[in-house]
Structure 1
């Protein structure tokens, strides 16, 4: 099932969030577990319900989390129920070293159960593995980094209040839209005739609607300008009927060189706004040509400097190694 992702606690998907703490009722509280959940921008716009399948520890129902028959669990005599042993070793007169290690008799549990009295279902471990499916509701308008918490759904253990499972939303990059809070941004390419004479185009929104954008003739679109469509942004979290705005940045595509004959170009110039007045040219002014610039080849000054350096190297090369000019 595509909407179900599974996890066995102790693997690499879930991460622990801090150590044990105390709950409000004074009981020890288990560790929380965090998992990243990748969602698309469509999921955050429309909302989505998916499923989380997990395998977690639950208290054994056969022994009620005791590990064996009533009274079968005894405090470990070797460590006195502490789960660790403390050894003191003398290093020199007046100097001792204290060492702490996990008790080997109870494996750090602080309790021991006779083999014959152990619960057959959990084998004295007090907990068993159980598969559970949680429904994850991604609400409309949720954002990247927002958390969805399942209270008390982490591992269970005797005498410990289970921690939470926390899902951290991670928004995937979208090919058409970029999100900024409750607003959306997109870029659209138009031709020069559209920029000058008006246009109409259609795009598919995040909920599948076909949106028709119209711009009237006579209103000019400048290259790089931004126009806004009110109310077509992201829905607000917990108030989905209120939406942000959609901002459209226009990339105006100009025609190729020599796309029209000189005669037609003159006719076009008569239709366009008049040129600015040409200032009086001084008699001794120098006329230069404006050429296309290729940024990959560097500036002209750099090329001239390179040519100068090459010629200098060639001239110096005629002297040969070790040859110096004599001074008179």
Structure 2
């Protein structure tokens, strides 16, 4: 009581009132995450997915306020409508938010439909457009399709997380696509042209140069995946595998594999020795 003249009690009351003013500040609703599996073709062209949701929306009975407006409100019996309770200990006066009314100063009857939460759960199906070029872990945002906000706050968002199914032909790395092809030994030596499928379902003629090596990559520009930003497309890479026949196959083909073996040994003597160990580029 002695310190009242110094304004400590007013200070505590003022701080408590500020706290009470912000007690029911608008709060944004929680986001909802939903994983969608797509084929590589769907990721290439884009698609529309239907997402089944159970989400919270503002209660239609109380308008999201959480209390029964028809029954009005009454003064809190604990704090007498002040929204705070004062405790005194020796020379110190402390004020804190009223535990009964939560600082509101009034008691309201909870809405019978939402039980005072201000929100109810509903089932709905939301259609979301997936843009071309999405990849694993890409996120597509549907604004305002999350859970309802509280105290007038905006709703959260629906966030679609993309998961791509493995493809039977193509391997994806970033915006580039990789496809494995097999060629004959003679084609590897002489060179050839082969038809390779594209992600659009068409075929493109790819030239295999003479002397191609096992695992060598041949680049086909502009036939990869669409870029999500900046436009354009990645590239397609053709990975070459050389099908080397076994002597047992040649025996069946020519009847007597000894002559074939002799020709191969003679060819081996004529060919230059390769560099066995490849040095890495610095």
The interval holding the TM-score normalised by the smaller chain is 0.5 to 0.7
Using the size of structure 1 for normalisation, the TM-score is 0.57
Aligned match of 1:44: 43
Sort the Cα spacing of 1:79 and 1:186 in 2 relative to 1 into closer, same or farther, 3 A: farther
CA distance in 2, matches of 1:174, 1:192: 28
Aligned match of 2:121: 129
Q: Which runs of no fewer than 5 residues in structure 2 stay unpaired?
A: 1-21, 86-98, 252-256, 274-282
Sort the Cα spacing of 1:80 and 1:265 in 2 relative to 1 into closer, same or farther, 3 A: farther
Q: Which runs of no fewer than 5 residues in structure 1 stay unpaired?
A: 1-21, 86-102, 278-328
How large is the RMSD of aligned CA atoms in angstroms? Answer: 4.1
Using the size of structure 2 for normalisation, the TM-score is 0.65
Match of 2:237 among 240, 243, 247: 247
- Aligned partner of residue 161 in structure 1, secondary structure: coil
Sort the Cα spacing of 1:276 and 1:174 in 2 relative to 1 into closer, same or farther, 3 A: closer
Query: After superposition, where does 1:193-208 map in structure 2 within 5 Å?
Result: 193-207=186-200
- Aligned partner of residue 180 in structure 2, secondary structure: strand
CA distance in 2, matches of 1:32, 1:80: 38
1:262 aligns with 2:258: yes
Answer 1 or 2: higher relative contact order, Cα 8 Å, separation at least 6: 2
| Maintained 8 Å contact 1:113/1:124 | no
CA shift at 1:79, angstroms?
8.3
- Aligned partner of residue 44 in structure 2, secondary structure: helix
- Aligned partner of residue 270 in structure 2, secondary structure: coil
CA distance in 2, matches of 1:129, 1:143: 32
CA shift at 1:180, angstroms?
2.2
CA distance in 2, matches of 1:135, 1:79: 49
1:145-192 Cα shifts (integer Å, max 9, x gaps): 322112222222333322222222233333332222221112222221
Aligned match of 1:211: 203
- Aligned partner of residue 155 in structure 1, secondary structure: coil
1:163 aligns with 2:156: yes
| Maintained 8 Å contact 1:149/1:165 | yes
Sort the Cα spacing of 1:239 and 1:175 in 2 relative to 1 into closer, same or farther, 3 A: same
CA distance in 2, matches of 1:210, 1:273: 44
Aligned match of 2:3: none
Sort the Cα spacing of 1:80 and 1:191 in 2 relative to 1 into closer, same or farther, 3 A: farther
CA distance in 2, matches of 1:79, 1:197: 95
- Aligned partner of residue 61 in structure 1, secondary structure: coil
1:138 aligns with 2:137: no
Query: After superposition, where does 1:1-328 map in structure 2 within 5 Å?
Result: 27-66=26-65, 67-70=67-70, 72-74=72-74, 77=77, 112-114=107-109, 119=111, 121-122=113-114, 124-156=116-148, 157-207=150-200, 209-215=201-207, 219-237=210-228, 242-258=232-248, 259-260=250-251, 261-266=257-262, 274-276=270-272
| Maintained 8 Å contact 2:181/2:240 | yes
CA shift at 1:211, angstroms?
1.3
Question: How many pairs does the alignment contain?
Answer: 236
1:119-159 Cα shifts (integer Å, max 9, x gaps): 55445543222223221111111233322112222222333
CA distance in 2, matches of 1:273, 1:140: 54
CA distance in 1, matches of 2:127, 2:77: 46
Higher relative helix content: 2
- Aligned partner of residue 41 in structure 2, secondary structure: helix
| Maintained 8 Å contact 1:200/1:212 | no
